[in-house]
Structure 1
Amino acid sequence: MAVVVWIVEGTWTACVDAARDRPPGDGRTVLVHITSPDTAAAARGAYASLLGRARPGHDPADRLERLAAVSADDLLDRAARRLARPCDRVERTGRAEREVVAEAEGAELLVCARDGDRSRLGPRSLGPATRFVVDHAPCPVLLVWPGSPPSPADLPPPPPH
Structure 2
Amino acid sequence: MRVIVWLVEGTWPACVDAVRTYAPHASEVVLLHVSGPEVPDVAHGAFAGLLGRGHPREHHPAEGWGSDPGDRLTDLSGTSAAELLGAAAARLGRPCSRMERTGPVEREVVAAAESADLLVLARDGDRDRLGPRSLGPAARFAVDHAPRPVLLVWPEPAPDLTTLPPPPPPAHH
2:5 — aligned with what? 5
The residue aligned with 1:53 is 55
Q: How many residues align?
A: 161
Deviates more, 1:54-63 or 1:69-78: 54-63
Aligned partner (choices 147, 155, 160) of residue 151 of structure 1: 160
Larger radius of gyration: 2
| CA distance in 1 between partners of 2:89 and 2:149 (Å) | 22
Moved more, 138-147 or 51-60: 51-60
**Aligned-pair distance for 1:119?**
0.4
Match of 1:89 in 2: 98
Question: For 1:6-155, what aligned pairs fall within 5 Å after superposition?
Answer: 6-24=6-24, 27-50=27-50, 51=52, 52-55=54-57, 57-155=66-164
Gapped runs of 5+ residues in structure 2?
59-65
CA deviation profile, 1:78-131 (whole Å, cap 9, x unmatched): 000000001010000001110011101131111000000000000000000000
Question: How far is 1:26 from its partner?
Answer: 5.3
Question: Over aligned residue pairs, what C-alpha RMSD do you find?
Answer: 1.4
- Residue deviations 1:112-159 (CA, integer Å, cap 9, x gap): 000000000000000000000001111110000000111111211111
Q: With the length of structure 2 as denominator, give the TM-score of the two structures.
A: 0.89
Q: Which runs of structure 1 show a deviation greater than 2 angstroms over 4 or more consecutive aligned residues?
A: 22-27
Q: Percent identity at matched positions? A: 61
